[in-house]
Structure 1
């Protein structure tokens, strides 16, 4: 329904009348005598493409066509923006502005990588990409374990004494040296374990024997005794279940390649001249 109305709006003779009839001047220049009109190279010329974009933007926001007054307001805003940009460029306000330079660079890079969004690989290419990046699409493994944070600088005898109490059924929470860390962890994904306890801790826990107090293992908080109770390995789902995600990431990688190729070719068109670099900076 909306698409039909939208097509009708773009094909409307009324819209073409506004655009092609020169509304920009009709609404913003008629009050000025002809002698005061700017030279033709200073004309704010609203193209049909830009006019359609204004209507599309309005329709996207309000789900209806703009009225005469609303279209007039949109064109006025466009004219103010266009005139302001020209004045800013004439005054050199774009020079040395890091935000503007970065914005222009981003737009150029976007144009370079935009074709990737329309690329569709054949099934063999997508399957090969999926296999080569299997780790990115696997479901994380899960760990269930109990842990006790040992006192700082605990000696071997103290560690063995705590382990003996645990093996006799003592409450891990009562023996732990930290009330902030959970004494019992149930079904936590391995990356989440790493975020909670520190890098490498989850991998060490996953390698422990089941149902035995082991350690000490070192985390970001100190040394722990750990009893691994359950370990679920990561699973790679069939490609059919994650096809859209794989396709999206393939296109993202293709976009990156297009951007890198573009920038490499771009730099080849220029000769780089550098100032003399002082020796102290080189060091």
Structure 2
């Protein structure tokens, strides 16, 4: 949004009115706590945070302040939503609803994890975490190889004859039984090899001796003869190079710890009454 439009938006008297109205609600709430004033079920009270949310959501979506008519519509929609939620709760419609229960659980877990976003470890702690999880931050190794896909159900003598031809210098492209798979693969990351040829194929190639026709090796396409020409192992970059990623993952792990600790303490506040579970399945 251009700066001139932002300045004009921030200068809008209507937006000022709406936001100041939210502040007024907040001041009223502070001076008159809910515990000290009646809150009958038939009163729909628009609080400060809700008022500000309505205005800011509109501004974010429309890039301008709401008109008086739009403002009335926003407040009416809020009132309908609030009344509908109260009615649904009064009728017990939230009970036994898996989606609602899961949503509430997610919100509790989010509140438990939220403080981790503000945590900043010292460099010693971050470096120790980096080294302990080095495999997650290493650059993938690369493989260079030549492969020949054998015909389906090739007999052992046919495989041996093809391997002999290759060892004598025959063109792998002429013997390759697939037009989809390249006979020569240069510097392909190990995970990419797995995606192209199938799970486990990259690991099997990486274990082969260099400069020697080996196989057959099984892939998602069939059996291959493979010549491994170059094998470059993964490299762990300096921490400074991946600092932001390491910090994000450290915080994610801390968030999981906070969540697990909170949920464990939460369960301690309750007495569990569970049905008996037999040690062995009944016949």
Contact kept, 8 Å, 1:10 with 1:52, in 2: the verdict is: no
Contact kept, 8 Å, 2:148 with 2:176, in 1: the verdict is: yes
Contact kept, 8 Å, 1:9 with 1:15, in 2: the verdict is: no
CA distance in 2, matches of 1:10, 1:116: 38
Partner of 1:111: 111
Instruction: Establish whether residue 123 from structure 1 lines up as the match of residue 123 from structure 2.
Output: yes
Contact kept, 8 Å, 2:15 with 2:65, in 1: the verdict is: no
TM-aligned CA deviation for residue 47 of structure 1? 0.6
Contact kept, 8 Å, 1:146 with 1:228, in 2: the verdict is: yes
Contact kept, 8 Å, 2:116 with 2:255, in 1: the verdict is: yes
TM-aligned CA deviation for residue 134 of structure 1? 1.0
Contact kept, 8 Å, 2:19 with 2:55, in 1: the verdict is: no
Please report the TM-score for the alignment, with normalisation by the length of structure 1.
Answer: 0.83
CA distance in 1, matches of 2:276, 2:203: 49
Greater Cα shift, 161-170 or 148-157: 148-157
Alignment partner for residue 17 of structure 2, among 10, 14, 18? 14
CA distance in 1, matches of 2:13, 2:40: 29
TM-aligned CA deviation for residue 17 of structure 1? 6.0
Partner of 2:229: 229
Partner of 1:271: 271
Provide the alpha-carbon RMSD of the alignment: 2.9
TM-aligned CA deviation for residue 101 of structure 1? 0.7
CA distance in 1, matches of 2:13, 2:191: 51
CA distance in 2, matches of 1:138, 1:4: 46
Q: For 1:123-162, list aligned pairs within 5 A.
A: 123-162=123-162
CA distance in 1, matches of 2:226, 2:20: 77
Partner of 1:184: 184
Give the secondary structure class of the aligned counterpart of 1:128.
helix
Unaligned residue ranges in structure 2 (runs of 5+): 26-38
CA-to-aligned-CA distance 1:203-228 (integer Å, 9 cap, x gap) = 22123233221222233444321011
CA-to-aligned-CA distance 1:99-140 (integer Å, 9 cap, x gap) = 111111111111110111111111111111111111111111
TM-aligned CA deviation for residue 156 of structure 1? 4.1
Contact kept, 8 Å, 1:147 with 1:183, in 2: the verdict is: yes
Partner of 1:204: 204
Give the secondary structure class of the aligned counterpart of 1:162.
helix
TM-aligned CA deviation for residue 186 of structure 1? 2.4
Unaligned residue ranges in structure 1 (runs of 5+): 23-38
User: Kindly tell me: are residues 47 and 214 of structure 1, through their superposed partners in 2, closer, same or farther at Cα, counting changes over 3 Å?
Assistant: same
Instruction: Establish whether residue 101 from structure 1 lines up as the match of residue 104 from structure 2.
Output: no
Please report the TM-score for the alignment, with normalisation by the length of structure 2.
Answer: 0.83
Contact kept, 8 Å, 1:146 with 1:172, in 2: the verdict is: yes
User: Kindly tell me: are residues 226 and 71 of structure 1, through their superposed partners in 2, closer, same or farther at Cα, counting changes over 3 Å?
Assistant: same
Greater Cα shift, 168-177 or 233-242: 168-177
Give the secondary structure class of the aligned counterpart of 2:41.
helix
Aligned pair count reads 267
TM-aligned CA deviation for residue 69 of structure 1? 2.0
TM-aligned CA deviation for residue 183 of structure 1? 2.3
